[in-house]
Structure 1
Amino acid sequence: MKKQEGFLDSSDGKNKLHVTRWLPDQESLNVWVQLVHGMNEHMGRYEEFAAYLAEHGIAVMGHDCIGHGKTAASLEDRGWFGERQGHKFLVQDIRKVALYGKRIFPEAKHVILGHSMGSFMTRRYLAAYADGWKEKEPEAQSDQCGNPEAAHRKLGVEWQQEPDGVILSGTGNPPHELVRFGWGLANGFCIQKGTRDRSKTLYQMSIGTYNRQFAPVETDYDWLSRDRERVEKFLKDPYCDFIFTAGAYRDMFQTILEDQRAEKRGHFVKNIPYLIISGSDDPVGEGGKGIKRLVKRYEKAGVDDITCHLYPEARHEVLNEINRAEVYEDVLAWLQEKMGERT
């Protein structure tokens, strides 16, 4: 396996996306997986999972989203997407990395795996891309990942197809009214204190409630996993130790609202296989209730190839759970089955 790191220009015209790719030793590839991480984390936390897939002949690539990891230019930029509608840049960056991957792996099938925040951004991407990408094409640019020509220029206008498959990890389907309330509260903080304000009120209202069902707890992040070592590693990670800004919370709530509107109308990519992986004790998925509602919504909308694994007693990060070997095997089996069928 080979690991490579580099940078691509973000769609916001300001940031440099830190991109990591894990390449299997074999030259011929059948599929590559694009990772989109969750809030308060970075691509480095997916090392074990990515290495596992690479060992089985699957290439993996992902970037640190705006406001995260090595993409964030400073401590002040962590947990901040932009002054307004920053979530659109996160969604456009998914496409930029997808185009870049298409340039590197032109013959391989493309699967997007979005976790938590990344799952909601991925769902927004699938809705925005349902009728082809509507945004203005970015200008050609060079990158520092070994390809001086921008991927989309190399591919031209022919790259119009959707990904070949989608994996949603740690996703959810929260009540619409609750999300609207959260958006209004976050927007109020943005107006009163600015988009960079780090509100403990917003934190407590959102992820601050996730630990309640696991009391008594040892840390503020027991809800992530039953694996104590993984939770401690998260707490000690300097790239994970920050509170989201009011602007980022507003943009996250806006993304979820847009997801729900598009999915209820059936306006998203439906003709590809979906895999949903979640823990039965994941508060984001409401202990499985939100996941089941989401599956029903997808089925009603016309998704006819959907697989759902709800792991008993697992929490939010199933890729970091004590039964992660089982999860890895399930993901690999799905990739081998579904991507082997598509031509």
Structure 2
Amino acid sequence: MFSETQRLASTGASLAYHHAEAVGPARGILLISHGLAEHSKRYRGFAEAMAVRGYHVYAHDHRGHGETTAPDAPIGRFARRGGVDRVIGDVLAMRAYAAMRHPGLPVILFGHSMGGLIALNAAVTAPADFDAVAVWNSNFAVGLAGRAAQAILLAERMLKGSDVPSGLLPKLTFAAWGKSVAGRRTAFDWLSRLPGEVDKYIADPLCGFDASVSLWLDLFELTFRAPQKLHLDRLPRDLPIHLVGGGEDPATERGKAVLWLSNHLKASGFSRISTEIYQDMRHETLNEIGADAATAAFADWCDEAVARFQTAKF
């Protein structure tokens, strides 16, 4: 059952993960990479819906999140050093475990927000490991503002260390996004138009924490690394890639960052890019009005990706 927390060892960490078994004949494996300041258990509804569609679903907590434990990764930090490589390695460990349990099935990697940053970086790190990739609500288009934020974080690290929360980045991101919502009820209304979903996030002790300076620096490393030509060139140009954004999501500039990634990938020669901007949605597509329809559309896309894989293989 997805609600049960299971454990997998990965490079000094004990990864907490959840699993939903495919209902009926299995079509493939779906790995879920969650976002910043949340955890994998929040994806239960999505996982169970995808299991009904024939996918073995695995979702783990990243280091510094949820119930995953590691000596150098308290809540809010990937690792003291090398955090990016550690979290990518965890995705690959989860993939290897799932593939061992279900040999011969295609593997689809799904990531939301920060999880999308990790997912695309995992794909370019191990291109043979994934048969399709989905990146939802992620912002790779931070540009000069992102470089300025990196400079601020480096200054903070020099002044007060890397293990403490950043003083400025939460104001430039979460706080600013919250203030951008007209008539907001809470500081987290930017996540969803559904008050009940926002309230569940606020009440969850494993959500909404302050990220450390080192974690913010790791996020920007992920943001700038994957879109570079030398990394994208490792991926097959016919890799199915599914991009989703919200037209009212301040974290992606109302979907503009998602469109930027779509155009960047197409300009880089990728031929199987599917892009959907849900005009009225905010940041968390899976916890929004219309989530069921978005999930069904994604499952249809997965079925097509799996069919293409099976045709190519057999």
TM-score band, normalised by shorter chain: over 0.9
Residue in structure 2 matched with residue 9 of structure 1 by the alignment: 9
**Change beyond 3 A, Cα 1:78–1:202:** same
Alpha-carbon distance in structure 1 between the residues aligned to 2:68 and 2:129: 26
1:193 shift after superposition: 1.1
Per-residue Cα deviation, 1:219-272 (whole angstroms, up to 9, x for no partner): 111111111100100000011141001110011111111123247864545331
Per-residue Cα deviation, 1:115-163 (whole angstroms, up to 9, x for no partner): 1001001111122234xxxxxxxxxxxxxxxxxxxxxxxxxxxxxx231
**Change beyond 3 A, Cα 1:263–1:256:** farther
Q: Aligned runs of 1:267-306 on 2, under 5 Å?
A: 267-306=234-273
Name the SS for the 1:332 alignment partner: helix
TM-score, normalised to structure 2, is 0.92
Residue in structure 1 matched with residue 103 of structure 2 by the alignment: 106
Letter in 2 for 1:10: S
Give the one of 26, 29, 52 matched to 1:29: 26
Letter in 1 for 2:43: Y
Alpha-carbon distance in structure 2 between the residues aligned to 1:268 and 1:246: 31
Per-residue Cα deviation, 1:307-340 (whole angstroms, up to 9, x for no partner): 1111111011101101101111111111112212
Q: Which moved more, 1:220-229 or 1:83-92?
A: 83-92
Alpha-carbon distance in structure 2 between the residues aligned to 1:263 and 1:324: 35
The yes-or-no answer on 1:309 pairing with 2:276 is yes
Give the one of 6, 14, 17 matched to 1:19: 17
Q: Which moved more, 1:166-175 or 1:47-56?
A: 166-175
Name the SS for the 2:280 alignment partner: coil
Q: Aligned runs of 1:239-254 on 2, under 5 Å?
A: 239-254=206-221
Letter in 2 for 1:22: A
Q: Which moved more, 1:1-10 or 1:78-87?
A: 1-10
Q: Is contact 1:126–1:269 with CA below 8 Å preserved after alignment?
A: no
**Change beyond 3 A, Cα 1:292–1:264:** farther
Alpha-carbon distance in structure 2 between the residues aligned to 1:221 and 1:3: 25
Q: Is contact 2:34–2:111 with CA below 8 Å preserved after alignment?
A: yes
Residue in structure 2 matched with residue 47 of structure 1 by the alignment: 44
Alpha-carbon distance in structure 1 between the residues aligned to 2:69 and 2:14: 8
TM-score, normalised to structure 1, is 0.85
Residue in structure 2 matched with residue 233 of structure 1 by the alignment: 200
Residue in structure 2 matched with residue 189 of structure 1 by the alignment: 156
Q: Is contact 2:225–2:231 with CA below 8 Å preserved after alignment?
A: no
1:3 shift after superposition: 5.8
Identity of aligned residues (%): 25
Q: Is contact 2:246–2:255 with CA below 8 Å preserved after alignment?
A: yes
Q: Aligned runs of 1:256-267 on 2, under 5 Å?
A: 256-262=223-229, 266-267=233-234
Name the SS for the 1:239 alignment partner: coil
1:4 shift after superposition: 4.8
1:206 shift after superposition: 2.4
Name the SS for the 2:228 alignment partner: helix
Residue in structure 1 matched with residue 295 of structure 2 by the alignment: 328
Name the SS for the 2:274 alignment partner: strand
Q: Which runs of 5+ in 1 are unaligned?
A: 131-160
